Structure 1
Amino acid sequence: MAVNVPGLVTVVVFYIVILGIGIWASRKSKKVEKTCAGTKSEVAIVGGRNINVLVGVFTMTATWVGGGYILGTAEAVYSPSRGLIWAMGPPAYVINFLLGGLFFAKQMRSKRYVTMLDPFQHRYGNIFTATLLLPALVSDILWVACILAALGGTMSVILGLSSAISIIISAAVSIVYTFLGGLYSVAYTDIIQLSFVFVSLWICIPFLILSPAVTNISPTVHFNQTLGNSWIGELKLEDAGKWADEMLLLALGGLAYQALYQRILSAASSTQAQVTCFAAAGTVFIMGIPSVIIGAVAVSADWNQTAYGLPPPFERGEAGKILPLALQYLTPTWLSVLGIGAVAAAVMSSMDSVLLSSASMFTQNIYKATLRKQASEWELQLVLRVSVLLVGLAGTGLAFGDDSVFALWMVSGDLLYCVVLPQLVCVLHFGRANSYGAIFGYLVGLLLRGLSGEPLLGIPPLILYPSWREVNGVIVQYFPYRTLAMLSSVISLISVSWLVELGFRHKLIPQSWDLLGVFDEKKGAERERVPVPCEEKNFVLNTKL
C-alpha cells in the first residue's frame, strides 16, 4: 500500500502543533513554580492546584477518551458476538465519574494529597504503599500499549505507514512534551486534542451514513446478511455474568487510576474537583457516540461495493481496525485524514496522562518518601522525567503484539479493579482498616485474579468457575470472576482488620505480636504527615486558561 503523502503531512503538522503547545505549557509550569508555595515536583504532578474547571473537564475527559475508548467502542458494536449492548465504555465511564465525584473527589482533595497513594502511605507506611504501585504500574503500561496499538492500526490503514513507525513516532511526541512540562503540558494539549477528536469525528458521520455502500442502519434492522448479526447485539442469559463483570470492571476500575486523582487533586478546591467529575460524566458519554455510529455503519455496509472487497473485516481478523477501515473505504480521502488525526489526538491525550500517572506515584511515594528522603528538587524532577521515559518505552514495546484493542483495554484495568480498588475504598471509607487487613486483602485479590487466568497474556486458569467455555482452544471464564476477586478482597480486608484490632484491644493477642506497630501509639504518632503544597487561597475563583 502506497504512503498517503497529503495525509502524512497533515499528521506531521498536527504533531508539531501539539508539541509546540506542550513546550509552551512547560514554560507556564515554570512560572507557577516561582509563585507557588509547593515544590517543583508537586507543581509538575498536580499543577499548583490551580487547574480551573474548564481545563479540568477537558483534561479529565481526554484522558478517558483514548484510542481504546474510540476504537474499542466501534469494535464492540461491529463484532458479531457483541454489538451495542457490549459497548460498555460510554455508560461505564459515566458511572465512573459520577461515583468519583460523589465518594472520592472530596475525600481526596480536602486532605490535600499529591497522589492516589498518599492515604496509604499515611496509614500503612512505605513498604505496603510500594506494593500497591506494582499493579498500578502494570495497568498503566498495558493502557499505553492499548492506545498505541490503536493508533498503529489506524495509521497503517489510512496512511499506508507501518504500525511500528506510527507507534514509535506518536510515543516519542507524547513522551517529549510530558517529559518537559508535567501536568501543565498534559492539560493544555488535552484541550486541543479533545476538541480535534470531537469535531473531526462528527464531521465524518454524515459522509459515512450517506455512503452508497451503507444500507439502513436503523436498529429495527435486526439481521445483517454478511455478518449474521444486528449492531444492537444480544445479551444471552449464559453471558450475563461476563457482561456484568466487564461493565463493573470499566465502571469501578477507573476509580483506582492515578490519572483520575491527578485531575481531582489539581483542582482549586474540593467543590471544584466534584464539579469537574460531574461535568466530565456528560462529556465522556457524548464523545463515545461517534464510535457507536461508525460501528453500526460498518455492520450495515456492503464491503463488496468498496475497494476493500470481501471477505468483510471481521472474517479477516481486522475487527479491531474497523474505525479506520470505515473511514478509509466509506468516506472521501480528505475525511479519512481527519479521522486519523482524531485517533492520533485521542491516543496522545491518554498516553501523556498515563505516563505522568505512574511517574508521579514512583517519584512522590517511592523515591521521595522511601529511597531518598533528602532528595533535592532537581533530583526529583530528574527522577520524574526518567520515570516518564521508562513507562513510555515499556508500553511502546508491548504495543506491537496484539490486534484486539478491546482486549487490551479491558485487561489494563484488571489489577486495579481486583487489587487496588478494594484498598482505596477501605482506606478512605473504613476507618478501622489496618496494615494486617490491607495485606491480607491484597493477597486475596491478587491470588484469586491470578488463578482465574488471562487468555490475552497466555495464562491458563487454575480455577474453573461455573459456565466456563473453551473457545478456539482457549478457556474463557463467563463467571464474574474479577468482581468475585474484588469483593473477596474487600471482605477479607475489613474482616481481618476488625478481628486483629479486636484481638489486640482485648489482649487476646500479645502486644509483642504486633510486628507492624499498628497498635503502638508511639509509632503511630511518629508517622510522617502528608506535606501540604500550594495554598488554595486565590485559586478557587480562577477561571482563566
Structure 2
Amino acid sequence: MIGNNVGVTMTFLLYIVMMLAVGYIAYKRTTNLSDYILGGRSLGPLPSALSAGASDMSGWLLLGLPGYAYAAGYEAVWIAVGLLAGTWLNWLFVARRLRTYSLSAGDSLTLPSYFENRFEDRSRILRVVSAFFILLFFLFYTSSGLVAGGKLFETVFGLDYSTAVIIGTLAVVSYTFFGGFLAVAWTDVIQGLLMFAALLLVPVMAINVAGGWGATQDAMTALNPELLDAWTDTEGNALGAIAILSLLGWGLGYFGQPHILARFKAIRSEADIPAARRIAVIWSGLGLFGALMVGFAAIGYFQTPLEDGERAFMLLVDALFHPVIAGILLAAILAAIMSTADSQLLVSSSALAEDFYKALFRKTASQVELVWIGRLAVVAIAVIATALAFDPDSKVLELVSYAWAGFGAAFGPALILSLYWKRMTRLGAVAGILAGGVTVVVWGNLSGGILDLYEIIPGFILATVAIVVVSLLTPAPSSRIQAGFDKGIRSS
C-alpha cells in the first residue's frame, strides 16, 4: 500500500467525479445512435488524435510496457519502434479513406456495418462474423484494463485485489453507460494529456535523483549487462529474426483495432486528418519513449529488484513526489485504463446493439431503443470482462498481446484491401476475417521453432492470402458495388 494519506485519496476521488461530470454533459448531448457510437462525426484534429492515442495505449503504456522494459532492457525498444510505425502508417493510409468511405457506404457506424455495406452483403454473415470476433477479443482486451485497475487500487490503497477490480470497473462503466462516444472522446483528451505529462515527468525525476543517465546505465550493467543490448535477450543470446519480427509485428495490429478505427470515422472532416496525424504520431512517440524510460529508470532507482515490474511506475511516483502530486500522477494510470476500457466497452456494445440486435432481431428498433440496448450491453460485457480479470496473477501485456493480435489479423487485411482493391469480394472478406481470427486463436496456443513467432504475423499473412485467393475464385463484384467503391474513394 502506498497511498495511506488524504492527499492521494482526495485526488483520486476528484478525478473520478470530474470524469462522471463529463459523462453527464455528454449524456445531455446524446440523442441518437450516431451520437452514442461516433459522436455525430464531430471531432476536430486534437480530440480525434488524442482520443485515438489514449484509447490505443491503455494501462499497458504505464504498467505493461515499463514492466517489459524493466525486465528485458533495450530489447523492449523493438516494440516501441513497431508501434510508432504502425501508428503513422494507419493514419497515413487508412484514416482518410475510412472516414469518407464509411460515410458514403450507408453512413456505417461500426466496422461490421461498414463491411456489410461495402460489399452489399444481404446475408448478414459478414456483419455477424465481424461482430463475433469483436466481442471475443474485446473481452480479453477489456479484461487487461481491469487487471491494470486492480493492480492500481491494490497498490495505492491496499485494497483486496478483487475489490479493486470491481471499483475500477464501476468507474469506467458509469460514464460510458451514459455518455457514449462523446464522453469517451472528451475524457480521452484530458486523460491523454495527463498520461503524456506523467510519462515524461516521472522518468526524468527518477533518473535525476538516481544520479543521472550514466548512473542508471551503470545500474543496468551491474544488474545484467545484456539489458543494454537491443540485439540480445537477457541471457546473452542473440535475438533471432523470429524474436525481432515478433516485436516489430505489434505495429500490424493498428490496422484492425475497432476502437482506434472508430476515431477515424468520427473526425469532423477529412481536411482535419493531416493535423490529427501529426499530433497522434508526436504524442505516441513521446509516450512510448517515456514508458521505456520509466522501466529503465526503475532499474537505476530501486536497489532491491521489484517482484512485479508492472508496478514500477506506481512505486516511482510514491517514492519521488509529494502525496498530492503523487495522487495526480497515479490518476494518469486510471486515465490510461479508463481511456481504453471505455472505448472497448463502447465498441463492443455497438456490436451488440447495431450488429446483432438491430440486424438480426429488431430491424425496426428506434434510435432511443438502440442507445439503451447499447448501454445495457456495456454493463453485460463489463461483468464478463471483470470475471476474467479476477486472477491476480494476470499480466497486462500478455492479455493485450493476444487481443491486439486477434484484431490486427482478423480485420487489418480485410480493411486495407477493402479500401484499396476494387476486385475484393464479399466471400473474400469473410474468408480473410475467419482466417486471421482463427489463426491467432490456434497459433497463440502453440510453441516451438517458427510457432514462437507472434501470432499476428502469420494471422495477417494468411488472412491476406485468403482474401486474394477467394476473391479471385469467386465472381467479381457487381457494377453497382464497383461504382460505390469508386465513389467512396473519389471522395477521399
| Greater alpha carbon shift after TM alignment, 235-244 vs 390-399 | 235-244
Aligned length: 471
The alpha-carbon distance between structure 1 residues 232 and 69, as it changes in their structure 2 partners (threshold 3 A), is farther
Q: 2:56 aligns with which of 64, 85, 89?
A: 64
- For 2:444 and 2:283, locate their aligned partners in 1 and report how far apart those are by CA, in whole Å: 35
- For 1:207 and 1:253, locate their aligned partners in 2 and report how far apart those are by CA, in whole Å: 33
The alpha-carbon distance between structure 1 residues 132 and 246, as it changes in their structure 2 partners (threshold 3 A), is farther
Partner of 2:125: 127
- The yes-or-no answer on 1:449 pairing with 2:440 is yes
Question: Shift of residue 186 of structure 1?
Answer: 1.0
Q: Partner letter of residue 193 of structure 1?
A: Q
- The yes-or-no answer on 1:423 pairing with 2:420 is no
SS at match of 2:111: coil
The alpha-carbon distance between structure 1 residues 436 and 262, as it changes in their structure 2 partners (threshold 3 A), is closer
- For 2:2 and 2:252, locate their aligned partners in 1 and report how far apart those are by CA, in whole Å: 44
The alpha-carbon distance between structure 1 residues 246 and 204, as it changes in their structure 2 partners (threshold 3 A), is closer
What is the TM-score when the length of structure 1 is the normalising length? Answer: 0.79
SS at match of 1:57: helix
List aligned pairs for 1:187-226, cutoff 5 A.
187-211=185-209, 216-217=213-214, 221=218, 223-226=220-223
Runs of 5+ consecutive residues of structure 1 not aligned to the other structure: 34-39, 304-309, 455-460, 468-476, 503-517, 537-545
| Greater alpha carbon shift after TM alignment, 226-235 vs 366-375 | 226-235
Contact between 1:118 and 1:365, CA under 8 Å: does it hold in 2? Answer: yes
- For 1:382 and 1:201, locate their aligned partners in 2 and report how far apart those are by CA, in whole Å: 37
- The yes-or-no answer on 1:230 pairing with 2:221 is no
The alpha-carbon distance between structure 1 residues 57 and 453, as it changes in their structure 2 partners (threshold 3 A), is closer
- The yes-or-no answer on 1:399 pairing with 2:386 is no
Q: Deviations over 1:185-229 (max 9, x none)?
A: 1111122222222334444344312335x6755686485333554
Q: 2:70 aligns with which of 65, 75, 78?
A: 78
Partner of 1:360: 350
CA RMSD, 1 decimal: 2.9
Partner of 2:161: 163
- For 1:354 and 1:116, locate their aligned partners in 2 and report how far apart those are by CA, in whole Å: 13
- For 1:493 and 1:228, locate their aligned partners in 2 and report how far apart those are by CA, in whole Å: 46
Q: Deviations over 1:143-179 (max 9, x none)?
A: 2111221222133223322332232122112111111
The alpha-carbon distance between structure 1 residues 300 and 490, as it changes in their structure 2 partners (threshold 3 A), is same
What is the percentage of aligned positions where both structures have the same residue? 21
The alpha-carbon distance between structure 1 residues 244 and 416, as it changes in their structure 2 partners (threshold 3 A), is same
The alpha-carbon distance between structure 1 residues 278 and 96, as it changes in their structure 2 partners (threshold 3 A), is farther
Question: Shift of residue 253 of structure 1?
Answer: 1.1
Partner of 2:179: 181
Q: Deviations over 1:473-522 (max 9, x none)?
A: xxxx43354312321221122112102338xxxxxxxxxxxxxxx77x8x
Which structure: larger Rg? 1
Contact between 1:77 and 1:84, CA under 8 Å: does it hold in 2? Answer: yes
- For 1:302 and 1:358, locate their aligned partners in 2 and report how far apart those are by CA, in whole Å: 40
Q: Partner letter of residue 416 of structure 1?
A: F
- For 2:134 and 2:424, locate their aligned partners in 1 and report how far apart those are by CA, in whole Å: 21
Contact between 2:46 and 2:279, CA under 8 Å: does it hold in 1? Answer: no
Runs of 5+ consecutive residues of structure 2 not aligned to the other structure: none
Partner of 1:301: 301
Contact between 1:153 and 1:163, CA under 8 Å: does it hold in 2? Answer: yes
Partner of 2:283: 283
What is the TM-score when the length of structure 2 is the normalising length? Answer: 0.87
More helix by share: 2
Contact between 1:78 and 1:299, CA under 8 Å: does it hold in 2? Answer: yes
SS at match of 2:223: coil
Q: Partner letter of residue 277 of structure 1?
A: R
Partner of 1:379: 369
- The yes-or-no answer on 1:479 pairing with 2:453 is yes
Contact between 2:202 and 2:294, CA under 8 Å: does it hold in 1? Answer: no
Partner of 1:50: 42
- For 1:284 and 1:267, locate their aligned partners in 2 and report how far apart those are by CA, in whole Å: 19
Partner of 1:434: 425
Contact between 1:61 and 1:283, CA under 8 Å: does it hold in 2? Answer: yes
- For 2:179 and 2:157, locate their aligned partners in 1 and report how far apart those are by CA, in whole Å: 30
